[in-house]
Amino acid sequence: MQPTHTTQHTHKHTNTVADGWQIFHATGGLQEYVAWLNRDNTPLHKPIAFGKMVDGIKVEVSLQWCSDVFSDTLLGFVNSIRTVDGGTHLDGTKTALTRTVNSLARKVREGG
């Protein structure tokens, strides 16, 4: 979700137009989109975002934890197109995030 792009998609939490598509434009980019997705929830913090460009390939991640949600919502996009079936980019992101959170939790538990 790039700030300069407008996307059309369906989403189960929205009131869509008659043909099933909704136009979405987030001038704040991915962080604004994540905040919008969680608008009916109770966020614990503002969306966190980070990214990197390597060899001309840009990767961006934004996440937000909510106190009233007990399952994850993981959405992936490639070239601004939603990848509804997931993919290695989502698997890798989830694995890295899980590993990082677990590592930090162990350090806190051990007092370090």
Q: Where are the domains of the chain?
A: 6-109
Instruction: Report residue 99's pLDDT band, with 50, 70 and 90 as the boundaries.
Output: very high
Tell me what pLDDT residue 2 has.
57
Whole-model pTM over 0.75: no
Mean pLDDT of the chain: 81
Specify the CATH class of 6-109 in words: alpha beta
More confidently predicted of 9 and 33: 33
52-87, pLDDT tens digit by residue?
999 998 888 899 999 999 988 888 888 777 788 888
Q: Contact, 24 vs 7, CB < 8 A?
A: yes
Of 22, 21, 28, residue with least CA distance to 2: 28
